[in-house]
Amino acid sequence: MSRVPGWLGRLGAGLTRMSRQLEQRRAEAEGEDLDGAGPGRAPDHVVSPDTDDLSAGHGHTLVEHPVVVRERPDPAQAVPWGMRVAAEAGWRLLVLAGTLWVLMKVISAVQLVVLAFVAALLITALLQPSVAWLRRHGVPRGPATALTAILGFVVMGLIGWFVTWQVMENIDNLSNQIQDGIDELRNWLLNSPFHVTDKQINEIAKNLREAVGANTDQITSAGLEGVTVVVEALTGILLAAFSTLFLLYDGKRIWQWSLKLVPAAARPGVAGAGPRAWRTLTAYVRGTVVVALIDAIFIGLGIYFLDVPMAVPLAVFIFLFAFIPLVGAVVSGALAVVVALVTQGMFAAVMTLAVVLVVQQIEGHILQPFILGRAVRVHPLAVVLSVAAGGMVAGIGGAVVAVPLVAVTNTVVGYLRAYSREAAVRQAPRPRGATSTDASPTLEPGPGTAGAEPPSDAPPA
């Protein structure tokens, strides 16, 4: 009987040691769970204890078990990666679209000033070589600028006066020939296989007269608006003339002053892109003038030998419309064909169309690639879209400046992309033992950078 208490004591001591070991292991496991919580995972929290009823004999032992509830993850982490990227790009595109919309509103509000300045840039690109030639031959800057500007404006004014004079001299003869052409067209329709009757032709003429009579008020208001257009055109011409004078005389200093408005970090790239953009614009204007002159001469000679009236004014119109790529050639060619049709008949119209098509094909496949070269090469789709967008935004003026704007933008973007790559190469860490000549840049600094002199063909503005 004396050994029973000792046995029970040893059993109780063993159970106590096992209980302590279990509690120690449980505490260690809970500590590892708390330490292993990641950045996107919150630690587990004990909400309420749970009890188990362990019955042994007549007694009850309560053992607590914590109930673990995990917190919800961060909402930003729950959104899929692709959707997050699309949202980030979406709001940036919205900001960019809003900025462009505000910019277009500002440009449309001062459209006359913008078009006048762009026209001055185009005229300056055409006349600046003359100023440079006079300067190289010892003429001071002021007289060289004045002489070039006066001769340029006189030539453009004489061209406008000549076109107006030719139209006024031939308007009576042209109206009589148009009336005869309409009578011939009517007779041809009556005798044609289309079975057009005299009654149908009279109804068409009656509908035209009624349409004109019904829209008399609109035509009158259009005439009043035409007076406003003339005033705005004269204002734009004066602005373009003054801007051209200042750009020819002091263009290089205007460009250097404009560089000061650019942030210092981007100034070297912009300073290098400016001269290249100016060379592109100059090449475009010169090439377009040469191509337009060739078109006007050969098409004018063709319609002159076909006895089409007002051949010289039509040639001048072809020259002017050539500054609107694609669209201008179609419009001027169609005008020449219509005049030939109503004055000389179907055969002259067909021959005029053949002359126009042949000259335009030679222009598109031989003259433009040879004269303009690769510096201003723009894809035909880009030409069509830019002309359409420019015409919708600013009318004929926008259609004229759309293509040179696209060509200049293409040159600037290409240069800045190459400049950024060269800058990344220069800033990249070099291997040990490399010298400074191993990674020398291929892009020379432009005007406005430290230690660089502005080139002779720096843009005037």
* HSE-up of residue 202 (Cα within 13 Å, Cβ side): 3
> How far is it, in rounded angstroms, from Cα 146 to Cα 323?
26
Provide CB contacts within 8 A for 201, sequence distance 6+: 186, 189, 190
What b/e readout covers 87-107, taking b as 16+ CB neighbours within 10 angstroms? eeeeeeeeeeeeeeeeeeeee
pLDDT per residue of the chain (461 residues) written in tens, 0 to 9:
445 567 767 777 777 777 777 777 777 766 655 555 444 444 444 444 444 444 444 444 444 555 555 667 777 777 788 888 888 889 999 999 999 889 888 887 888 888 888 888 888 888 888 888 888 888 888 888 889 888 888 888 887 787 777 777 766 666 666 666 667 777 777 776 766 777 777 777 667 666 655 555 554 554 445 557 677 778 888 888 888 888 888 888 888 888 888 888 888 888 888 888 888 888 888 888 888 888 888 888 888 888 887 788 788 888 888 887 777 778 888 888 888 887 777 788 888 889 888 888 887 777 777 776 655 667 777 777 888 888 787 777 777 888 888 888 888 888 888 888 887 787 766 655 555 444 444 444 444 443 344 444 444 44
DSSP-assigned beta bridge partners for residue 66: 49
Q: Whole-number mean pLDDT of the chain?
A: 74
Q: Would you state the pLDDT for residue 98? A: 92
Residue 94 Cα distances to 84, 91, 102, 106, angstroms:
16, 5, 12, 18
In 3D, which of 114, 111, 48, 85 has the Cα closest to residue 461?
114
Provide CB contacts within 8 A for 133, sequence distance 6+: none
Q: Which helix (H) or strand (E) holds 88?
A: helix 81-109
Residue recorded with tokens 């040469």: 290
**Angle CA 158–161–164, to nearest 5:** 150
> How far is it, in rounded angstroms, from Cα 231 to Cα 62?
101
Q: Which DSSP letter does residue 367 get? A: I
**Contact assessment for residue 306 and residue 340, using Cβ atoms and an 8 Å cutoff:** yes
**Contact assessment for residue 43 and residue 32, using Cβ atoms and an 8 Å cutoff:** no
Q: Which helix (H) or strand (E) holds 53?
A: strand 45-56
34-61 confidence digits (pLDDT tens): 555 444 444 444 444 444 444 444 444 4
In 3D, which of 269, 248, 291, 302 has the Cα closest to residue 128?
248
Q: Which helix (H) or strand (E) holds 2?
A: none
